[in-house]
Amino acid sequence: MDLVIDANILFAALIKISTTSEFLFKHTLYAPEFIFEEFEKYKDEIKRKTSRTEDDFNELFDLFERNVILIPKEEIAPFLKRAENISPDEKDIPYIALALKLNCAIWSNDKLLKKQDEVKIYSTEEIVRL
């Protein structure tokens, strides 16, 4: 399944070994290219919270970098206005724009995102059931 991955899903997978990390690479994942800027911003905090070793953490992040297809801002720009009208939260606009561009769902545990009905949102629990 093609999915746009929310930064919080990546963070959860990096912090601990869980269902999220188990299912991370069983789908074709896309993200706005800025997702790595988000990661850099919170990297130290994520590392403090992790139960992974430094090597495991770095290995998983490298795997993420190699497997997630990053889409440049210019490619989602035509969808930003529509996403702005749909998104219940400003920070989710790029994810919704990317999902609109790709005509696919978003993998996110953000309950607020489910308050719109234009883009399908799957939680980790729903991904597992699929």
Percent residues over pLDDT 70 in the chain: 92
Label residue 9 by pLDDT band (50, 70, 90). confident
- The closest alpha carbon to 89, from 124, 119, 126, 45, belongs to 119
6: DSSP letter: P
Q: What is the mean pLDDT of the chain?
A: 86
Q: What is the pLDDT of residues 14-70, one digit of tens each?
A: 776 666 656 666 778 999 988 877 777 777 787 778 777 778 777 777 877 888 899
pLDDT at 31: 94
**pLDDT, tens digit, 9 for 90 and up, residues 56-66:** 777 777 877 88
| b/e per residue 19-45 (b: at least 16 CB within 10 A) | ebbebbeebebbbbbebbebbeeeeee
| pTM of this structure | 0.85
CA distances 108 to 42, 44, 74, 87, 103, Å, are 18, 22, 23, 13, 16
pLDDT computed for residue 101 by the predictor? 97
Q: Which CATH architecture has domain 2-129?
A: 3-Layer(aba) Sandwich (3.40)
Q: Return the higher-pLDDT residue of 35 and 106.
A: 106
